[in-house]
Amino acid sequence: MTIRTRFAPSPTGLLHVGNARAALFNFLFARHHGGEFLLRIEDTDKERSTQKAVDVIFDGLAWMGIEADAEPVFQSARQDRHTEVALELLEKGQAYKCFCTPEELTAMREKAMAEKRPPRYDGTWRDRDPSEAPAGAPYVVRLKAPRDGETIIKDLVQGEVRVANSEMDDLILLRSDGTPTYLHAVVVDDHDMDITHVMRGDDHLTNTFRQAMIYRAMGWNLPHFAHLPLIHGPDGAKLSKRHGAQSVVDFREEGYLPEALCNYLLRLGWGHGDAEVLSREEQIKLFDLDGVGRSPSRMDYVKLAHLNGIWMRVADDARLTDDVMQRLQGRDGVVTDDRTRARILAMMPGLKERAKTLVELADNAAFAGFTLPLTFTPKAEKLLGEDGRTVLQGVGRDLAALSDFTPETVDATLRAYAEKHEIKLGSVAQPLRAAMTGSTTSPGIDLTLAALGQDEVLARIAAVLASASTDG
């Protein structure tokens, strides 16, 4: 048997991080077992489904490196097949036509609630002859669900779960306009796509009990079910905007690498010993459902940022530079030309050591494209007082004399200046850093100066000194 999993999102909004994790788990499970991972877009809700949301899903999955093994299936294109199965159930006596009016259903619901009973359909038309209905009256097609016994699901995460059939009503398969319901369409699609394992959030568990009845009414084998615990906010409440990023788009915009997010989502609710940092190859090798816990997970944004920092430090410098350049586009006072890119690329080994997100990385790298005169932070201003300017003037002459402007020659020059004037190396480096960046942070000062280039370094020193003389 070839294991086949699927990810089946509804294109009604952004790709939520909980759905992204479900996609990842389905993908890794299929890869681990040498199976197939499929994608189905459940776009039957015509009012809420949009092409933009479909594109967001495709882009998000591609960004995360989650690739389907076949072209995506669009549920809306399969409506005739969904209807065919519902009519087959009707023909077999496993379903029936219900002619209840909206008013009757409302009265039924209100009566049940008044009697402190769950508001379920009471089976008014379950055993009645359709000929009793007024001519041309609209109807829905309902499943004739079993009323005795219980429905049992052997869930691969939750264990054996069961519900008394008396607690469930006859679910609608076809609406009065002839369109299939979501619960029915999903069963037909999973069966026809030969899905062997359905892995989704445990908020679908109630749906699974109802869908199992459709499988059994059709005489179809049930797939294996695995209901994944939901992701909560750090405080244990439902994840919301007040907690932080919720969608794949949010995490991307906030500067997280896809490998970091995937790594974090995998470890959120799944464990394998002490392993924390796992490559995609290691994820595929190790992932199986026996490591998935039953309790809800809590988003830890601090841990995610830490993990992102780890992945950034091993990421390709050119790739990080390209991302930074995109983020700097259109920023006031920053020139994003080839020269700026070359400077950032040269400094990237040092820049990425000091950042935990790509946004932070871009902020730290922006000085490479600054135009003169620079704007200084209050802390940088303090470093550019009389003593700092004296250092700049003196070391500037020494740097100007260099015929070969490399990190090595720059470092040697700064050290020689500090030794000659009997001051600490930091007393030389910090005014230089302030003059170069407008702040007090940068990669190593030797790498920073070499990346900016001799002409730019001398120009920024001159701008500080000129400003000081003007102020005076």
What's the Rg (C-alpha) of the chain? 32
Q: What is the largest CA-CA distance in the chain?
A: 107
| Pair type for strands 172-174 and 140-143 | antiparallel
| Dihedral sign computed on CA atoms, order 349, 322, 361, 265 | negative
Give catalytic residue positions.
241
215 HSE (CA, 13 A, CB side): 22
d(CA 262, CA 340): 31
| Burial group, residue 179, by CB count within 10 angstroms (0-12, 13-18, 19+) | middle
Which of 304, 261, 266 has the alpha carbon at shortest distance from 60? 261
Q: How far is CA 422 from CA 408, 426, 435, in A?
A: 21, 12, 22
* Total residues found in the chain within this entry: 472
Q: Can you tell me whether residue 349 is helix, strand or coil? A: helix
For residues 75 and 301, what is the distance between their CA atoms, to the nearest angstrom? 35
What tokens appear for 284 in the block?
Answer: 């595929």
